[in-house]
């Protein structure tokens, strides 16, 4: 099969590789689309903190935001059919360890990963495969995993009917958090984003105020929107360390600050302890999306997702796709197999 194989930092090329074999409890999917996640360039550039240095000595296939059709079914799997349209999670948990049994499946000690999806075929554990409704296209199906991240983020963010929410970052996760927050009842929303095209889309998706943080006073505009109080919830989805720190200042008394991005492994974010004391704030962080995929699947036909897919690029042009992502003006890039 054709796949984008990473061989060392910065080195990714299209190669012919063997198709992954299917185990008894697995499903092979013929990939249709796979989105580029912000962690994919970090992997390629050797910056993703979860990957040990020795892993870069082994060839790898990246990609985890995938949709496609079932090509082969393991002998112990029931209830699926070849040709069925599906979207996929990239991992499956054991259900038996302490964390799985205690409501924290995203910290499973024995999680089973899928094979990489920047390829014509990928193999998934049965529990990581989700049949798509007939009215959901495979391009939209590839948005299931990032939508699940937004669902988990809003679960954590204490968004409720009538609340006001600020979001830093107009990329896929920031804009998806905006859409899900509005459906959760947020009534005053602000999106901070330096790129004009992304601000315009945030406005189209329902943000009351959009701010260019490089040229406007974000904190002053936030106070104007919230009658001088600050935000009930502040979601940082840009990955900017400075924005993560500023989120604390944007929050109202008893507010919730959610760091919903990936930050450099060796960076510390200073927080004023006295400010935490006088405002009685909660700071949380988001790590993947436990218990969120079924609800994310239900939301696929309810959210505006087409507008977030700004580019569809053939797998053969994966280097161009990574360059486009690095330029910063794209939102969601899908690779088409």
Q: Is 81 helix (H, G, I), strand (E, B) or coil?
A: coil
What pLDDT does 262 receive? 95
What pLDDT does 248 receive? 96
The first and second tokens of residue 103, run together, are 């409501």
Beta bridge partners of 131: 86
Spatial neighbors of 42 by CB under 8 A, at least 6 apart, are 48, 262
What pLDDT does 34 receive? 98
Query: pLDDT tens digit string along 26-44?
Result: 999 999 999 999 999 999 9
Please identify which residue in the block is written with the tokens 């984008």: 4
C-alpha 56/C-alpha 66 separation (Å) is 23
For the chain, percent of residues with pLDDT exceeding 90 = 96
List of domains in the chain: 2-143+305-336 (3.90.180.10), 149-285 (3.40.50.720)
- Classify each residue of 13-52 as buried b or exposed e, where b means 16 or more C-beta atoms within 10 Å of its C-beta: ebeebebbebbeebbbbbbbbbbbbbbbbbbbeeebeeee
What pLDDT does 53 receive? 86
If residue 311 lies in a helix (H) or strand (E), which one and from where to where? strand 309-314
What pLDDT does 55 receive? 86
Query: pLDDT tens digit string along 96-141?
Result: 999 999 999 999 999 999 999 999 999 999 999 999 999 999 999 9
Q: What is the mean pLDDT of residues 304-312?
A: 98
What pLDDT does 30 receive? 98
Calculate the CA dihedral of residues 136, 137, 141, 142 and round it to 10 degrees.
-160
Given a cut of 90, whether residue 85 has pLDDT beyond it is yes
Q: What is the mean pLDDT of residues 163-171?
A: 98
Q: What is the mean pLDDT of residues 295-304?
A: 98
What pLDDT does 35 receive? 98
Spatial neighbors of 15 by CB under 8 A, at least 6 apart, are 2, 3, 4, 5
Average pLDDT, the chain: 96
């Amino acid at each position: 099969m054709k796949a984008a194989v990473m061989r060392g930092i910065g080195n990714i090329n299209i190669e012919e590789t063997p198709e992954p074999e299917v185990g008894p409890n697995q499903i092979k999917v013929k990939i249709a689309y796979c989105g580029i996640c912000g962690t994919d360039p970090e992997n390629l550039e050797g910056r993703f903190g979860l990957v040990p240095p020795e892993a870069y000595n082994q060839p790898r296939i990246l990609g985890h935001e995938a949709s496609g059709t079932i090509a082969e079914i393991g002998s112990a799997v029931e209830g699926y059919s070849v040709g069925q349209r599906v979207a996929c999670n990239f991992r499956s948990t054991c259900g038996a360890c302490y964390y799985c049994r205690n409501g924290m499946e995203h910290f499973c000690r024995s999680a089973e990963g899928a094979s990489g999806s920047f390829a014509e075929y990928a193999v998934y554990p049965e529990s990581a495969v989700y049949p798509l409704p007939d009215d959901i296209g495979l391009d939209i199906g590839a948005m299931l995993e990032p939508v699940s991240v937004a669902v988990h983020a809003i679960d954590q963010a204490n968004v409720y009917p009538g609340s006001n929410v600020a979001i830093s970052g107009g990329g896929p996760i920031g804009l998806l958090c905006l859409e899900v927050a509005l459906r959760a009842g947020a009534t005053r929303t602000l999106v901070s984003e330096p790129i004009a095209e992304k601000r315009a889309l945030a406005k189209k998706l329902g943000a009351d105020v959009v701010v260019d943080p490089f040229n406007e006073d974000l904190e002053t505009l936030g106070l104007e929107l919230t009658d001088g109080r600050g935000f009930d919830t502040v979601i940082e989805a840009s990955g900017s360390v400075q924005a993560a720190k500023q989120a604390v200042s944007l929050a109202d008394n008893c507010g919730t600050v959610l760091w919903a991005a990936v930050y450099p492994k060796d960076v510390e974010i200073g927080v004023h302890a006295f400010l935490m004391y006088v405002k009685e704030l909660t700071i949380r962080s988001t790590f993947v999306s436990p218990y969120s995929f079924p609800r994310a699947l239900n939301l696929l036909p309810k959210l505006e997702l087409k507008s977030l897919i700004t580019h569809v690029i053939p797998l053969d042009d994966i280097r161009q796709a990574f360059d486009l992502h690095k330029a910063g003006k794209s939102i969601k890039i899908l690779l088409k197999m």
